[in-house]
Amino acid sequence: MAIRVAFIGAGSIGFTRGLMRDMLCVPELQDTEFRFTDISARNLDMVTQLARRDIVYHKLPATILATTNRRKALEGADYVINCTRIGGLEAFKLDIDIPLKYGIDQCVGDTLCAGGIIYGQRNIPQVLAFCKDMREASAPKALFINYANPNAMNTWAAIKHGGVPAIGCCHGVQGAHWQITHVIELWAKTTGRLPKDYVSPGHEPWNDRRNKMVWGLHRREVPVIAAGLNHQTWFIKVMFQGEDVTARLPELFGKHPVYPKTEKVRIDVLKRFGYFSTESNGHLSEYVAWYRKRPKEIKDWIEMSSWINGETGGYLRVCNEGRTWFKTDFPNWLKETPQPIGPDHRSEEHASSVIEAIHTGRVYRGHLNVRNGGCITNLPPACVVEVPCYVDKTGIHTPIVGDLPPGCAAVCSASAWVQRLSIEAAVRGDVTLLKQAMLMDPLTGAVCNPAEISQMTDELLIAQAEWLPQYRREIPKAKKRFAAEKRLGTKSVQGAARVRTQTVADMKRHAAAARANAAAADKAKMTRKGKRR
């Protein structure tokens, strides 16, 4: 019997089609009934046209029901995948620009720091509304698969307050695992542990022409254990040829031809803590207190060939460019030959593998975001952790990881408390808890004093009132406070390393790169000029 998979926020350009194609790579899932829903009828229609064209071209039995009626889309669904960006790019701009006035310079702003916290306030009420619809209309024990950021907060809220089975999925571990594989490959080929021309069986090598290297080792030959919080997950064990090489990583990353320039924050954290962290230079720099608190020092820690290496508001820029290009270039997308569908063209996103494992019984091992419950023994049991999981026909199983290294646990503990305060603030509409979350956030607290944090939070609430229904009684009070106070946010909104957003005319000069950016679910691979790395 065909399963039903619902996508909320199906107007997402990269995720919806990519995840659908991944599922269609599995023979047992090729008759899936997909349900697409979005509040934007235009975005939904464009993505649906492309997705239906993929199915028809490959002569597959899958079907798509597209509707702006979310409840209808969730009726009888076995899996519900959340790809939403609540508030859209309009709210996202406020997440970046308002904190900048107070000196908080963010690269991404979607997980922690001031932008991630207020983003969670927009997301969590909607996540709970999705869960309510699932409880009332979806199949019994339907699984909520969250891809939307702030991932840990959304997933935690769904588990604690939503009353449905829920996991979070992210590609951060996979991306960092490839980086670890590259530095090990360089070392192994230099020391004779691998032949100079070694390529893993069945692996398509990557020719890095700029650095005159061919990366041929596949990450499956480098087993890892990663554990922590989403976007703050640590590789606590890395194996190669039967040897634990975890302690070698600081030296190996230092010898790589590119990473010492592009990953300065991550390599500094690796040297000081002894373990590599999943997230990119730009992500990690805004989750801790040390690298973005002094504007004059920010450029010492970032690199501008790609937005993800630390560009101010870089993710906002590439998302704006991608959405603009998609709307402009959509007729050409319809004329393209659809991408191949099959095992060799499946992405490394977890969702299709989780669904395949539950549906067929084939065991899948992946790093998923789940309730801790004692898996990481020195983090709070209630928090959501990113850890190795095994999935089969009986469900999702999490082994005991044990203690994180003390320094890694300390970093994650601070973030977990910010997440907990943020979730409770969002659920209750409690401004005091929200301001406490901002106070406790590492970078926000390093940059701003309490009065600045309080005023910034009020300004964010006022500016984003239309997306914050739980604060409707508090926002008039915030307006009154804000009007009575001297303006404390007087700094420029330019930031230490901001890049101009490209116009359509700019992007037309590099149309292939613009299309790749628009289609990418993982925009971390895009360079400053919009090209794929």
Q: Which residues contact 355 (CB under 8 A, 6 or more apart)?
A: 3, 5, 23, 29, 79
Distance of CA 130 to the CA centre of its chain: 19
Active site residue 58: no
Domain ranges of the chain: 172-279
**What's the confidence (pLDDT) of residue 527?**
46
| CB-facing half-sphere around the CA of 69: CA atoms within 13 A | 5
Q: Which residues contact 53 (CB under 8 A, 6 or more apart)?
A: 334, 338
**What's the confidence (pLDDT) of residue 520?**
79
Active site residue 345: no
Helix (H) or strand (E) holding 82: strand 79-82
> What is this structure's pTM?
0.96
Q: How many residues does the chain have?
A: 533
**What's the confidence (pLDDT) of residue 8?**
98
* DSSP conformational letter for 182: H
What are the helix (H) ranges across 256-313?
259-262, 264-273, 281-285, 295-301
**What's the confidence (pLDDT) of residue 531?**
46
Per-residue pLDDT 10s for the chain (533 aa) are: 899 999 999 998 889 999 999 999 999 999 999 999 999 999 999 999 999 999 999 999 999 999 999 999 999 999 999 999 999 999 999 999 999 999 999 999 999 999 999 999 999 999 999 999 999 999 999 999 999 999 999 999 999 999 999 999 999 999 999 999 999 999 999 999 999 999 999 999 998 887 788 899 999 999 999 999 999 999 999 999 999 999 999 999 999 999 999 999 999 999 999 999 999 999 999 999 999 999 999 999 999 999 999 999 999 999 999 999 999 999 999 999 999 999 999 999 999 999 999 999 999 999 999 999 999 999 999 999 999 999 999 999 999 999 999 999 999 999 999 999 999 999 999 999 999 999 999 999 999 999 999 999 999 999 999 999 999 999 999 999 999 999 998 887 889 999 999 999 999 998 888 888 888 766 665 444 444 44
**What's the confidence (pLDDT) of residue 524?**
63
Q: Give me the sign of the Cα torsion angle 148, 154, 159, 164.
A: negative
Cα–Cα distance between 211 and 418 in angstroms, integer? Answer: 41
Burial of 97 (0-12, 13-18, 19+ CB in 10 A): middle
**What's the confidence (pLDDT) of residue 492?**
79
Distance of CA 490 to the CA centre of its chain: 31
Q: Which residues contact 328 (CB under 8 A, 6 or more apart)?
A: 504, 507
**What's the confidence (pLDDT) of residue 526?**
47
Catalytic option among 171, 218, 359, 510: 171
Q: Give me the sign of the Cα torsion angle 10, 12, 13, 19.
A: negative
**Tokens at 166, concatenated:** 């829920």
For residue 182, give the nearest of 226, 136, 141, 217 by alpha carbon.
217
**What's the confidence (pLDDT) of residue 532?**
42
For residue 113, give the nearest of 125, 128, 127, 98 by alpha carbon.
98
Q: Give me the sign of the Cα torsion angle 85, 283, 391, 403.
A: negative
Cα–Cα distance between 211 and 231 in angstroms, integer? Answer: 28
Burial of 332 (0-12, 13-18, 19+ CB in 10 A): exposed
Catalytic option among 287, 291, 364, 471: 287
